[in-house]
Structure 1
Amino acid sequence: MIAVRHFKSFLALLCALAATLFSCGGEPKEKSETKAGSTETASKAPAAKKKVIVFFGNSLTAGYGLDDPSQAFAGLIQKRIDSLGLNYKVINAGVSGETTSGGNSRIDWLLKQPLDVFVLELGGNDGLRGIPVSETKKNLQAILDKVKAKYPDAKRVLAGMQIPPNMGQQYATEFKAVYGELAKTNDVTLIPFLLEGVGGESKLNQSDGIHPTAEGHKILAENVWIRIKDLL
């Protein structure tokens, strides 16, 4: 009988302790854990995901001939963005020698990654090779269409290009007009002439007279920035 009484007393003590823990200590402990958990979550919260700007072009975008590709205008745009604290990441998708046909073939692979701003810089090599203007226009349109279909909310920018009248004045005139026509038709931002202030200036171009020096690219970056800054 004594053992039973002691056992019942022991059970009563346990119940009392349990009641005390749940009614008094339980709730504050839970709040404490929640608060601590919130603090930990906040401290570990990742920074906002950067938006992506893709520069899709040829050797001008790639920075052909420069000691450091980051000296090309796309890299300089990234530095400007960083200095302003804007949450954007620049991807340089320039390939030297690229034509609009090559770009149209390559764009599908590139669009596997999300993008928020798309800057199209192609056509110069078409002009130098005398590719029919109608073909260049068709390819540029196809690229713009694919970007819009994949990422309808992405902002599109078209970098205009001009060529010397080596292929005849009519060809050069028609070639130049393509960019303005496409920009209007597709309602995209137009950089009238990417090489404005650089094209034809020997001191701002490499020995081939075509590709800008590092100083030349600084001017290209300004030509681009003026047109895209309000899009960011």
Structure 2
Amino acid sequence: MISASFDSSEPAAARAYNALEGMVVTLVLAPGSFVTESALIDRLGLGRTPVREAVQRLSWEGLLEVRPRAGITVAPLHGGDWLRVVDARRGIEKVLARSAARFVTREATARLHGAALAMQKAVMASDVVAFLAADKAMNAALAASADNMFAAHAAAPLQTHCRRFWFRYRAQVGMADCAAHHVALIQSVLDGDENAAAANADGLMDFLRGMAEDAATR
């Protein structure tokens, strides 16, 4: 899963969320499958409250469905829905990219460099899980740079859905091409070039939409 280990400095609810999100994205919790809250508590080794908070958050994001007195169902995965996710994400990502290029901080610069390096290392190692972790880190760094918490909050669940679709349907597309789009976006943000950042965000969405169109025909 993406969050294979816990960061002990994080609150328990954040640890539970990151772990469960990783399990959903990498299909450890299979689409359409059923799980109970008690089973998740045992699996994660965390308390009932943080696990419940994480489940509620993932339910709001459309990744889990909580059925009172019945349990928890993992959202199904239909290739055609990826197109809808990418189309919804496109405009928000361009807003974030422009804002990040305008307001990028020294701390965010270091995080973006780290994400780009991690992504390139994942490509060299053909490590899909590490690639997705680097993608998540890049998205978080861009959100931290952008002076628009509303766009950042709207983008986060769409980004998670995209990672899940990408993990499921990635077989025919190499990570190298995907990484190149991400690195170009990072570089334009670091250069402070708002127009280039927006164009590269748009290019990344074009790339993902091409994958989504392929997935929709399977």
Higher CA-based Rg: 1
Task: Decide which structure has greater strand share.
Answer: 1
TM-score (norm 1): 0.27
Which structure shows the bigger proportion of residues in helix conformation? 2
Compare relative contact order (CA 8 Å, sep 6+) and give the higher one, 1 or 2: 2
Tell me the TM-score normalized by structure 2: 0.28
